[in-house]
Structures are given as structure tokens and as C-alpha cells.
């Protein structure tokens, strides 16, 4: 039987963090309020494979995996051994590393839209780079977007606009007001709004940046229609595949759906937890960056290059898309069986790369409490989840069985709470969204 030891030490460190780190943490998705604060782990001591151990000594099966950055598994021996070997040869050189060219060629070989490559250290700066290149290549300024694309000014400036049909709230503090109107959102699947935006800003749109998929398949013909609108208006189509693509296909969602954009942004999954990202795209667009100042000492350090080269090769060697489909459908089936056993109205929805629990509720205002209770009860049983199940290649059938057994017990508590009252069962603070994305 799993022995939960509480998170006293995590909470003590978190309290200290609030005194020395603005907003407690560097990544909003790691805020305690995004899980079951007071019960869920906040700080880890070590990780291996599909699991991590927190600073209080609790071990968890991890279904969050650094918000998708861990794809092979924590502390993967093949990647880490390659990185350790490289450290002994030098983590960064005064002159260039030949691994820059090696990784660039590997990305070109792997991603359909890739003909030239610029590196970065993460998804946010890669998106900012892509926006700069698209604007420079077209001589136009407006970027239409759908999805989440990071913290930089170009994107957050959209919060100055009034679009009540879209979710907002990321804030404008510190973002120049002069940027208002240079980045304009449209909802996922909303081709009519996109078409209107092109008409309203005819001749001014540099690019459309979008996540080609989020939780579900795009509507039939949607991606094709977006691409056609871009090309009809001489705008660059950019796929942000930082979070969505690498589990569904090694070449990304564009490979899976057969739609090749003009540019692509990648990060996270290409390096199994080591900082690395890239912007790739058509030669005629990417080569325009030669005349733009886009430069950083650490974008091509040897650690990021080595981890990415090794991770991509391991994803191919281990036939990762097939395995992710298997794991995703197995966890879906196992949790659905638990739902049926408990007799609660719920389902496991979304693509196999990241299926998620959805509980049917009589009142939507109850959702934060209900999900907090579920996350709380899963944490007490050694499962770290925010309600979804994003796997790594290290997840096993035994992990799935343990997770489903925990879900059966957690859902029983949720069912009882819905019938008799949630508040007395909650030991944690009510969950709050850590990020408000400018999407539907």
C-alpha cells in the first residue's frame, strides 16, 4: 500500500521561494495553485524513468513530465551518457561546434518544413524568433495567431485588444502599448474569423502562427484552409509544435496530417529536458534572418546540441509514435474502466498523445473544486497529474495499472463529494489556472 508522507518540506521551501522569487517560480505551470496546493508535491529531489521523488520522500508516477519536455523518460541513460561525455570535452566552445550543422541537418531530415534552421533555448524565444523572421521576410507587421506562444512582448501585446469570445488574462504589465494591434488572435478552428481578419488587415499580415493541434484533431479541411488563406495573402504560415507534435509523429503534427507550413517552431521534446529549441523553415524565408540581428551565446551550446541529436535519434530508434499510441490508448481504457466501476459520469477525452479526464458536472462552477479533489486524491496515492496523462516512453503497463487503481479510488471520493459535499473532503486549496491562454 502506498504511504503518503505529506508535503511539509515542499511547503516550507515554497514559502521561502515567495520571499526571494517573484511569483514563487520561474515557470507558471509549476505554481502550487495549479495542482492541489498543500497536498501535491512542489519540489522534487530526483527523477528516473516514469517517476520522481519529492523532497518529502514521496514517489510519484509522473503524468505531467515537465509540461511535455520529458519524452523518453526522466534521466534517460542514453541521452545523459552522451551529455556527460560531451561535458568532458567542453560544454561550450569559443568557436563554433560542428554539432550545430549535425543537428541542423537532422532537423531538416526529420521535419517536412525544414530547409534551414535557427536555434534557441526554449519555446518562447523560438516563437519570438519566428515572428521576427516572418516580419523581416515579408516587410509586414501583423501576426494573426491561435494558441499559446510564450511570454514575449509580441504575443502578450494581444491582451490590449478587446475580444470577449476568447480567453484572456495573461496581462499587459510591462508590455509596450505601441504593440497593440500587431498580434491578433483567432480561436481554434475558427476559419471564418481568420478570413475576416485577413480582409480587415489586407496587405498587412506577415504571418499566421498557430498550434496545429491542441487536445483533439483539427476540423476536416481546417489546416488546408488556413494554409490557403496565408498563401492567398502572401503571409507566412508558422506551426508552433513546441507542445503538440512530437508524440503524435517524430516529424510533428505536420507530418501526421500531411500539411507542410512555411516555418515551424520546436522545443521541449527535441532534447528530453535539456534546454534547446529551434525555428526551421523554407530557405527563401529563413535566409532573410542573415540580415537580422538574432543572436545568443548559448543557443548552440554543446549540451543542448548533444541532447537534441541523441533524443531525436532515440525517438526514431524506439519507434516512439507507435509506442505513444499504445500507452495513450491503454491508459484511456484503464481509466475508463475505473470510471465505469465507480459509476460516475465521466470520460477520458483527447488524442492518445495526451488523454485527459473529463467529469460531467451539474454545475460548471464546481469544476475547480472537483478537479482539485481528484488531483489531491491522486497525489495521496502517488500519482502526479493535473487531470491529464502525458506519457513518456518510460511508462510501463504496471504504471498504467497503478494509475488506474488510484483513479478508481480518487473518483470514488469525487463521487461521494458530489453527492454529499465537496468542501469537507478538500484538504488542499482550490485549484487556480496558472496561465490564462489567449485561446478558446
pLDDT of residue 435: 64
- The residue among 294, 317, 340 that closes a domain is 317
pLDDT of residue 431: 85
At 47-92, the pLDDT tens digits run 999 999 999 999 999 999 999 999 999 999 999 999 999 999 999 9
Query: Residues 299, 192: one domain?
Result: yes
Number of domains in the chain: 2
- The residue among 317, 347, 373 that closes a domain is 317
Give the CATH number of the domain where residue 220 resides. 3.40.640.10
pLDDT of residue 171: 74
Query: Residues 291, 396: one domain?
Result: no
Query: Residues 343, 389: one domain?
Result: yes
Query: Residues 289, 409: one domain?
Result: no
> Averaged over 114-132, what is the pLDDT?
97
Strands 263-267 and 236-240 come out as parallel
> Averaged over 3-28, what is the pLDDT?
96
Range of the domain at 420: 8-72+319-425
At 145-169, the pLDDT tens digits run 999 999 999 999 998 987 755 555 5
pLDDT of residue 165: 57
pLDDT of residue 215: 85
Query: What's the chain look like in SS3?
Result: CCCCCCCHHHHHHHHHHHHHCCCCCCCHHHCHHHCCCCCCCCCEEEEEECEEEECCCCEEEECCCCCCCCCCCECCHHHHHHHHHHHCCCCCCCCCCCHHHHHHHHHHHHCCCCCEEEEECCHHHHHHHHHHHHHHHHCCCEEEEECCCCCCHHHHHHHHCCCCCCCCCCCCCCCCHHHCCCEEECCCCCHHHHHHHHHHCCCCEEEEEECCCCCCCCCCCHHHHHHHHHHHCCCEEEEECCCCCCCCCCCCHHHHHCCCCCEEEEEHHHCCCCCCEEEEECHHHHHHHHHCCCCCCCCCCHHHHHHHHHHHHHHHHCCHHHHHHHHHHHHHHHHHHHHHHHCCCEEEECCCCCCEEEECCCCHHHHHHHHHHHHHHHHCCCEECCCECCCCCCCCHHHHHHHHHHHHHHHHHHHHHHHHCCHHHCCCCCCCCCCCCCCC
pLDDT of residue 437: 59
Query: Residues 62, 134: one domain?
Result: no
Query: Residues 169, 89: one domain?
Result: yes
Query: Residues 111, 220: one domain?
Result: yes
At 347-383, the pLDDT tens digits run 999 999 999 999 999 999 999 999 999 999 999 999 9
Mean pLDDT rounded to a whole number for the chain:
95
pLDDT of residue 381: 98
In a domain, 252, yes or no: yes
> Averaged over 262-283, what is the pLDDT?
96
Amino acid at each position: 500500500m502506498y504511504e503518503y508522507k505529506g508535503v511539509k518540506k515542499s511547503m516550507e521551501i515554497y514559502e521561502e521561494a515567495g520571499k526571494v522569487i517573484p511569483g514563487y517560480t520561474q515557470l507558471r505551470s509549476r505554481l502550487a495553485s495549479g495542482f492541489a496546493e498543500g497536498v501535491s508535491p512542489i519540489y522534487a529531489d530526483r527523477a528516473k524513468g516514469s517517476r520522481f521523488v519529492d523532497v518529502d520522500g514521496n514517489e510519484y508516477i509522473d503524468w505531467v513530465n515537465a509540461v511535455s519536455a520529458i519524452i523518453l523518460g526522466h534521466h534517460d541513460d542514453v541521452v545523459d551518457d552522451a551529455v556527460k561525455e560531451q561535458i568532458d570535452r567542453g560544454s561550450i566552445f569559443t568557436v563554433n561546434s560542428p554539432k550545430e550543422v549535425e543537428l541542423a541537418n537532422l532537423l531538416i531530415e526529420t521535419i517536412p518544413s525544414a530547409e534551414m534552421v535557427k536555434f534557441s533555448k526554449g519555446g518562447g524565444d523560438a516563437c519570438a524568433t519566428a515572428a521576427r523572421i516572418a516580419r523581416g521576410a515579408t516587410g509586414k507587421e501583423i501576426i494573426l495567431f491561435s494558441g499559446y506562444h510564450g511570454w514575449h512582448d509580441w504575443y502578450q501585446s494581444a491582451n490590449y485588444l478587446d475580444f470577449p469570445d476568447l480567453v484572456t488574462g495573461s496581462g499587459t504589465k510591462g508590455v509596450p502599448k505601441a504593440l497593440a494591434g500587431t498580434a491578433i488572435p483567432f480561436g481554434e478552428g475558427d476559419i471564418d474569423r481568420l478570413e475576416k481578419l485577413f480582409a480587415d488587415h489586407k496587405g498587412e499580415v506577415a504571418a499566421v502562427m498557430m498550434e496545429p493541434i491542441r487536445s483533439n484533431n483539427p476540423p476536416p479541411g481546417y489546416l488546408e484552409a488556413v494554409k490557403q488563406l496565408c498563401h492567398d495573402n502572401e503571409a507566412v504560415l508558422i506551426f508552433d509544435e513546441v507542445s503538440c507534435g512530437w508524440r503524435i509523429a517524430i516529424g510533428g503534427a505536420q507530418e501526421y496530417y500531411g500539411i507542410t507550413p512555411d516555418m515551424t517552431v520546436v522545443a521541449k521534446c527535441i532534447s528530453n529536458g535539456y534546454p534547446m529549441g529551434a525555428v526551421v523553415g523554407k530557405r527563401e524565408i529563413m535566409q532573410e534572418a542573415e540580415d537580422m540581428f538574432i543572436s545568443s551565446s548559448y543557443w548552440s551550446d554543446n549540451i543542448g546540441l548533444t541532447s537534441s541529436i541523441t533524443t531525436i535519434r532515440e525517438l526514431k530508434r524506439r519507434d516512439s509514435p507507435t509506442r505513444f499510441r499504445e500507452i495513450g490508448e491503454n491508459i484511456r481504457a484503464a481509466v475508463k474502466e475505473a470510471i465505469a466501476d465507480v459509476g460516475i459520469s465521466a470520460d477520458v477525452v483527447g488524442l492518445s498523445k495526451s488523454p485527459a479526464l473529463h467529469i460531467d458536472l451539474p454545475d460548471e462552477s464546481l469544476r475547480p473544486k472537483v478537479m482539485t479533489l481528484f488531483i489531491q486524491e491522486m497525489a495521496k496515492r502517488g500519482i502526479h497529474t493535473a487531470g491529464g496523462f502525458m506519457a513518456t516512453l518510460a511508462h510501463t503497463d504496471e504504471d498504467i495499472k497503478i494509475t488506474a487503481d488510484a483513479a478508481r479510488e480518487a473518483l470514488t471520493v469525487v463521487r461521494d463529494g458530489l453527492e454529499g459535499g465537496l468542501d469537507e473532503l478538500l484538504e488542499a486549496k482550490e485549484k487556480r489556472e496558472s496561465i490564462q491562454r489567449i485561446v478558446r
